Amino acid sequence: MDAPDIVVPVREGAAHEQLRYALRSWAAHLPHRRAWLVGHRPRWAADVEHLPTEQTGTKYQNTTLAVRTACEHRDVSEVFVLANDDMFTMRPLPDGVPVLHRGRVRDVERALASRPPSDYMRGMRATRKLLKSLGHPDPLSYELHVPMPVDKTGMLQALDEAEHLAVVHKRTLYGNLAGLGGEEIQDVKIMHRAPRGYGPESLFLSTMPDSFAYGHVGQFIRDAFPDPSPYETPGSR
């Protein structure tokens, strides 16, 4: 079986240093065929495929459009790896990207209940209710900051089911409708500057702009991938 493509929604108006190092990590550790940037393409990016999209909606609408655009493009592999520009693969994946989830949606909701109301939480509840109506009363959450294998046909069917939602947790909707199952892990997002919560054993990492630029985890990632990947124009910033 051919290696899958990697699909990355990329927003406009940022330096994208996290994307630079994410691409380095995938080039080193994640077997794939091509990398597709959907949305914006930084000036330094080289040898990547690019699908421009309008970014006039909310961040949720923009990323949903990016995923739909990739799924509808005939040249993107039928099964691809969906990743964000702040997801780093820290160790080799010779057998491909594993299917991972963060437990039951109801438990994630309970754990985040003390947070202020947000579009993210509204989207979580709306997606859970939609899944219940579609025969999945106790769905799993796939809202992790790790790459995820995606089947184009299945994802398009999931997005069609959620067209009426202002915010959809598309990973969760797709993962449950496709019956992916998988292994439960804690999320790997590092939001702080302190040297805790990760180490040499980490398979995946993800960062915030602040923790990447100024935190210990950012330096840890930069030290792991000091050399440019084939996806960078030499000497470019």
Digit-by-digit pLDDT tens for the chain (237 residues) are 689 999 999 999 877 999 999 999 999 999 999 999 999 999 999 999 999 999 999 999 999 999 999 999 999 999 999 999 999 999 999 999 999 999 999 999 999 989 899 999 999 999 999 999 999 999 999 999 999 999 999 999 999 999 999 999 999 999 999 999 999 999 999 999 999 999 999 999 999 999 999 999 999 999 999 999 999 987 666
Residue 46 CA to residue 37 CA, distance in Å, equals 11
Write the DSSP symbol of residue 15.
Answer: -
Task: State the pLDDT at residue 75.
Answer: 98
Task: State the pLDDT at residue 118.
Answer: 94
Task: State the pLDDT at residue 47.
Answer: 96
What residues does each domain of the chain span? 5-224
Task: State the pLDDT at residue 1.
Answer: 65
Cβ atoms of 221 and 190 closer than 8 Å: no
The structure tokens listed for 17 are 């240093």
pTM for the model stands at 0.95
- The CATH class of 5-224 is alpha beta
Query: Which uninterrupted H or E stretch holds 73?
Result: none
Task: State the pLDDT at residue 235.
Answer: 66
- Residue 74's Cα: distance from chain center in Å? 21
Task: State the pLDDT at residue 51.
Answer: 98
Q: What is the bridge-based pairing of β-strands 148-151 and 183-184?
A: unpaired
Give the residues across from 6 on adjacent strands: 35, 81
Within 8 A by CB and 6+ apart from 204, the residues are 87, 88, 89, 90, 145, 146, 147, 188
Cβ atoms of 104 and 29 closer than 8 Å: no
Number of Cβ atoms within 10 Å of the Cβ of 66: 24
Query: Which uninterrupted H or E stretch holds 165?
Result: none
Give the residues across from 208 on adjacent strands: none
Task: State the pLDDT at residue 81.
Answer: 98
Task: State the pLDDT at residue 234.
Answer: 75
